[in-house]
């Protein structure tokens, strides 16, 4: 179970790095592009879980854990991007 947690945190770190690169490329502005990656990742995790149901057995459980990790990292990234957008918006006002 520890490997699933490490895998989730690793995917989250990679997604945050990608978000940061997009933020830097776009001239330090938050745009709608940063919301797409976490949503696609979340959707991908759900699709992997649905496929794992068809597989069944022990292999299906493994794929379900992979899908859960993928979906969780997407959700964590989406929450992080939303909080970042709020903080940057409040800083611009002041």
Confidence check: pLDDT of 72 > 90: yes
Which helix (H) or strand (E) element contains residue 39?
A: helix 33-55
Distance CA 41, CA 45 (A): 6
Distance CA 82, CA 94 (A): 19
Average of per-residue pLDDT across 22-49: 87
Residue 32: strand, helix, or coil:
coil
The percentage of the chain sitting over the pLDDT mark of 70, rounded to a whole number, equals 98
Distance CA 91, CA 23 (A): 16
pLDDT confidence tier of residue 26, bands split at 50, 70 and 90? confident
């Amino acid at each position: 179970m520890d490997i699933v947690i490490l895998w989730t945190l690793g995917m989250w770190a990679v997604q945050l790095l990608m978000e940061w690169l997009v933020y830097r490329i776009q001239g330090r502005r938050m745009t709608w592009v940063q919301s797409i990656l976490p949503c696609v990742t979340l959707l991908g995790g759900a699709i992997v879980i649905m496929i794992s149901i068809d597989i069944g057995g022990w292999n299906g459980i493994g794929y379900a854990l992979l899908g859960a990790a993928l979906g969780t990292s997407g959700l964590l990234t989406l929450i992080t991007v939303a909080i970042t957008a709020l903080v940057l918006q409040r800083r611009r006002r002041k």
